[in-house]
Amino acid sequence: MEPLITDSHCHLDFPQFDGELPEMVARAAGAGVHRMVTICTKLRQAPQVRAIAEAHDPIYWAAGTHPMSAAEEPLATVEDLVELAQHPKMVGIGETGLDYHYTADSKDIQQESLRIHIEACRQTGLPLIIHSRDADADMARILTEEHRARPYTCVMHCFSSGPDLARAALDLGFYLSMSGIAAFPRSTEVREIFAAAPLDRILVETDAPYLAPPPYRGKRNEPAFVSHTARKGAEVFGLDYAAFAAATEANFERLFTKSA
C-alpha cells in the first residue's frame, strides 16, 4: 500500500472536474491520497463547494475570497466566514491574500479583505490559507502586524515567493505548502527555500486543476498527483517517501485540527 498523504489544497468545484469526481477520488485513493481540501475562492460558490465535501468522505473544504476576485465580489464579512465555519467539514479560511501580478490596482481592497479573513481565523480557530504573488513586502508586513495584535495560524499555499517572505512566515510559526512548482526542473530557488525550512512546517498540495508536477506538467492536475510532488519533497529533505509523507500528515493534522 502507498503511504497515506493529504492534498491540502485543490479546487474540485472547477469545471475541469465536472462529472468525474467519483473517479478522481478513486484515483487519489489508489495513490495513497486519503484526504483532500477543496477550496472555495468566491463565497457565492460556497454551497457548491460544501456539497462536494458532503458527498465524498475524503473531501473537506475551506472558503474565502481570492485576492484576484476581491474587487469584483462583495466584500466578505467576519460574520459570513464565521457562519460558514460552523459546518463540520469546513476546515480553513481562504484562500485569501494579495496578488499584485495581475490585480495590483485593487491592492487596497485586497488588503482590507485579507484583514477580515484574519479576524475570522481568530474567531473560529481555523487556519488562514494564503495566496501571495508579487506582494512579498506587504504580505510579510500585514501578516506580522496582525499576528502581533492577536495570534492566528496560517499556511502559505503553493509557496513560490522569495526567501524573505518564507522567513517571515516561518518566524510567525506558519507553514509552507509545496505544490507542483517545487518539482519543476528550473525551480531550484523554491526547493532551496523549502530545504531551509523546518520539516515540521511543510505541507503538500496540488492546487488542482493547475500546476501539475512532472511527469504530468502541462496537463490537468488532480489530487492523485500530489504524491509526485511529495516524492520530490522527500528528495529535498533527504528522506524516504514514507517518512516524508508521515511528516506532512502530522503537520496537516496539527494545523487543520478540525479535519483530524
pTM score of the predicted model: 0.98
Domains of the chain: 5-259 (3.20.20.140)
Distances from the Cα of 129 to the Cα of 18, 60, 111, 162, 187, angstroms: 25, 14, 14, 18, 22
Q: Mean pLDDT in each 10-residue stretch from start to end of the chain (260 residues)?
A: 96 96 97 98 97 98 98 97 98 98 97 98 98 98 98 98 98 98 97 98 98 97 98 98 98 96
Q: What is the C-alpha separation between 128 and 145, in angstroms, rounded?
A: 15
Q: What is the pLDDT of residue 206?
A: 98
